[in-house]
Amino acid sequence: MPSRSSLLSTAEVRRPLVIDHAIAEFARGGYHGTTIADVAHAAGISPAYVFKLFPSKERLFVSALEACFSRIVGALEAGADAAHGHDPAVLLDAMGDAYAHLIADRSLLLLQVHAQSVAGVPEIGDALRAGLARVTEFAKSRSRADDESVQRFIAYGQLCHLIVTTGIDEIPEAWAILLSRGITHPS
């Protein structure tokens, strides 16, 4: 019989794997359209084991969202580290570029969009706000930009989400060109 410490070790190893699959599955189907069984199947484990790791669907979604925001902050940090100079605007631009590259596969972007759509679920709304706080506070402290510039940085990011998720940058109409002017995303 395995010792308790080896079981915990297995759980600690599987937890990030399950979270990775949860990000992909929730990005694909949303909170309401994705089941624990979907995540379990993608991870190659039983639904019972997923419930052992995450006692509820809300907790699994929140864990995926927390991992998403950790990756975002990591990308912003890498972008700031790679920036040429210490000017706040340069740092924010570099962070934005790093974020655009991070969401090139769209899973993290779509997870955030789905989280916004179910922010009325208290646990998810709290996690979404905590993640946005982490991103905002990191951007502010790392760039040392003024509040208005940080607000514009976050607003610009949300506009980028809208452009990408709706395909506005592919529409040749004046209103779409106005919204997407100067905004490019890695493919």
Print pLDDT tens along the chain (187 aa). 555 545 555 878 899 999 999 999 999 999 999 999 999 999 999 999 999 999 999 999 999 999 999 999 999 999 999 999 999 999 999 999 999 999 888 999 999 999 999 999 999 999 999 999 999 999 999 999 999 999 999 999 999 989 988 999 899 999 999 999 988 777 6
| Domains with residue ranges and CATH for the chain | 57-180 (1.10.357.10)
pLDDT attached to residue 184: 76
Q: How far apart are the first and last CA of the chain?
A: 49
Buried b (16+ CB within 10 A) or exposed e, 151-171: eebeeebeebbebbeeebbee
pLDDT attached to residue 158: 93
Tokens of 79: 């972008």
pLDDT attached to residue 4: 52
How far apart CA 24 and CA 180 sit, in angstroms, is: 27
pLDDT attached to residue 186: 72
Contact of 161 with 112, CB cutoff 8 Å: yes
Compute φ and ψ for 145, nearest 5 degrees.
Answer: -80, 160
Which pTM value belongs to this model? 0.90
Residue type, 140: K
pLDDT attached to residue 82: 96
